[in-house]
Homo-oligomer: A and B are copies of this chain.
Amino acid sequence: MSQQYPSALLEKAVGEFAKLPGIGKKTAMRLVLHLLRQDAQTVEAFGNAMITLKHEVKYCKVCHNISDTEVCKICSNPSRDSSTVCVVENIRDVMAVENTQQYKGLYHVLGGVISPMDGIGPSDLQIESLVERVKSGEVKEVILALSSTMEGDTTNFYIFRKLAPYDVKLTMIARGISIGDELEYTDEVTLGRSIVNRTVFTGTL
């Protein structure tokens, strides 16, 4: 049964919200009515923030991360180690790695992973530009930090083959049991891998 909206403008606004992933008609209605209770200035700030972002956003021409400038804050920071490049799937992954405060190198945002099911091939990703960065000679190590999924692994292998001709160290982020996890509840593939890839215990964690 289709909803009867009391106003066409309301229906339009709810429809726009309901297009967002994970937001159904009921949630959309709740959000729109919430915004409607705010003053006009707040609503304009909300609507315009997204429009401005879309119009003015830039992507760093080096690492393809989102940026306000031609070259992003990370790539243009002289105190970062430009000989190390961490390959990630998307912007959120850059932020996740940055939040660890454990990494001082640069990034390369692929824009996705190879996924034939979704029609995403190597040419849809920023793989050629990664090869170019490596070819230029400054990069000494490429860290693959993709998701531990079939698509992530496929992309890892593809990049491995593409970078094989060049003199660059290729590493992959460690896979093992998460910190805080109990052994008993860890899946057997992860646990098996963490035994095979055990590291020398030096007395500190």
Task: Tell whether, in the assembled complex, residue A16 and residue B45 are in contact, meaning their CB atoms are under 8 Å apart.
Answer: yes
Inter-chain contacts of A182 with B (CB < 8 A): none
CB distance from A193 to the nearest CB of B (A): 27
- What does DSSP make chain A's interface, helix, strand, loop or mixed? helix
Give the CA-CA distance A56 to B36 in the complex, in Å: 11
Task: Tell whether, in the assembled complex, residue A21 and residue B44 are in contact, meaning their CB atoms are under 8 Å apart.
Answer: no
Query: A98 and B36 in contact (CB under 8 A), knowing A31-B21, A50-B16?
Result: no
Task: Tell whether, in the assembled complex, residue A50 and residue B21 are in contact, meaning their CB atoms are under 8 Å apart.
Answer: no
Instruction: Give 13 A-B contacts (CB < 8 Å), ordered by A residue.
Output: A6-B65, A6-B72, A7-B57, A8-B68, A9-B56, A13-B52, A20-B35, A21-B34, A33-B90, A33-B91, A35-B54, A40-B55, A43-B50
Question: Closest 8 interchain pairs by CB?
Answer: A47-B47, A43-B54, A47-B51, A16-B49, A13-B53, A13-B49, A9-B53, A16-B46
